[in-house]
Amino acid sequence: MFGNHAGFIFAAYGIAILVIVVLFVWIVVDGRSQRRQLADLESRGVRRRSERSVDGGTA
């Protein structure tokens, strides 16, 4: 179906899928790590300045 150069075609699509999957996993793992750290800080009562002003100055 893919002629004499099937190996080159599969290698091109394979490397494309691999790089895109690695990029996607990296972004998802990074996002989970950031949300976990943010939740940890919030659970300790740390608030951003803008949030504290909304809360009426309470930290």
Partner 1 sequence: MRLIDYANPTRFLGLSAALLPWLAAVTAITFAVGLYMVFFVAPADYQQGETVKIMYIHVPFAWLSMFCYMTMAASAFGTLVWRHPLADVSAKCAAPIGAAFTFLALATGSLWGKPMWGTWWVWDARLTSVLVLFIMYLGLIALQETIEDPARAAKASAILTLVGVVNIPIIKFSVDWWNTLHQPSSVFRMGGSTIATSMLVPLLVMAVAFTLLFLVFHLMAMRNEILRRRIRAMRMIEAAGAE
Q: Which residues make up the interface to partner 1 (CB under 8 A)?
A: 1-6, 8-9, 11-13, 15-16, 19-20, 23-24, 26-28, 30-31, 34-35, 37-38, 41, 44, 46-49, 59
Please provide the DSSP assignment of 11-58 as one string: HHHHHHHHHHHHHHHHHHHHHHHHHHHHHHHHHTT---HHHHHHTTS-
CB of 21 to partner 1, least distance (A): 11
Q: In this complex, which beta carbon is closest to partner 1, that of residue 8 or of residue 55? A: 8
CB of 18 to partner 1, least distance (A): 10
